[in-house]
Amino acid sequence: MSYGLLGTLLLLLPGAASAEERWVQQSPRQLWVLPGETAELSCRISNGSGYVNWYKEELDGSLYWIKQSLSCCSPVGRYSAKQEDQQNFPLIISPTQREDSGVYYCSSIDFHPIFGDGTRLIVTAATEPELSILVPVDVEEPGQPPTDIPLLCHLHNVPPGWDTVRWQPSGEVTEVTAVATGEHGVLSAWSITRVSPEQRDGTVSCTAVENSTGTTLSVAIAKGLREGN
């Protein structure tokens, strides 16, 4: 069963009790596990309704129903959703597979259900990302003065801790933004900068930095700003 994300969010509009009376809290915001490990996603609700629904966000933005957290029911495949007390309804996935990566939502059981903010699960054994610089095609119009060119540093198959990118020759340091989990559970992240006309004749590089160890990984493009690795 799937539900359009927009249609789901419309259920949050006024018409039920106030936000102060009803809430759903999920944690953690991000969870990294190795394939084969157990992932536990927490969901706490305010109204003690007895159970919650768990969903996974699909690539098209719709929500795929996974399971209800009924204490009476057995696990379904690798999914189990239990009730620890009147407010706690975690989802457990074991053993995890790469395709389990994605964003999970839990909701209260009401006529107007309340949804949590989601937990992003990343299942990966990668130790360092794969880097490439993406250059827009035909960013300039003929006859127009040269303008700054936006560049994307693409981090593919991202492990935990690779949170920043350093650009050269500017020395600019930017945070990466995780924006997508692919069909096979591969997480991609991006960092963006703009290169001035004066910098186009030199070599441009982006360096991904692992924050806890300082480990770096670089990719560069030379004169002409053509994509390279």
> Residue 53: beta bridge partners?
68, 107
Identify the pLDDT of residue 146: 60
Give the C-alpha separation, 12 to 176, whole Å.
30
Q: Mind listing the domains of the chain with CATH numbers?
A: 2-123 (2.60.40.10), 130-221 (2.60.40.10)
Least confident of 70-74, 131-135, 175-179, 208-212: 70-74
Q: How far is CA 123 from CA 16, 81, 173, in A?
A: 37, 19, 27
Structure confidence at residue 72 as a pLDDT band (50, 70, 90) = low
* Token output for 153: 């540093």
> What pLDDT does 87 receive?
82
Strand partners, 122: 32
Helix (H, G, I), strand (E, B) or coil at 199: helix
Residue predicted with more confidence, 129 or 73:
129
Confidence at residue 75, expressed as pLDDT on a 0 to 100 scale: 57
pLDDT over threshold 50, residue 7: no
The pLDDT of residue 144 is 60
What average pLDDT does range 122-142 have in this prediction? 82
Residue of 9 and 22 predicted with greater confidence = 22
> What is the residue-averaged pLDDT of the chain?
81
pLDDT at 16 over 60: no
* Average pLDDT score over residue span 145-162: 87
Is the confidence at residue 159, as pLDDT, over 70? yes
Q: What is the pTM of this model?
A: 0.77
Q: Is the pLDDT of residue 227 over 70?
A: no
Rg (CA), the chain: 22
Stretch 36-44: mean pLDDT: 95
Selected residue with higher pLDDT from 84 and 141: 84
Q: Assign residue 84 a region (left: φ > 0; alpha: ψ between -120 and 50; beta: otherwise).
A: alpha
Convert the pLDDT of each residue in 183-212 to its tens digit. Answer: 889 999 999 998 887 776 678 899 999 999
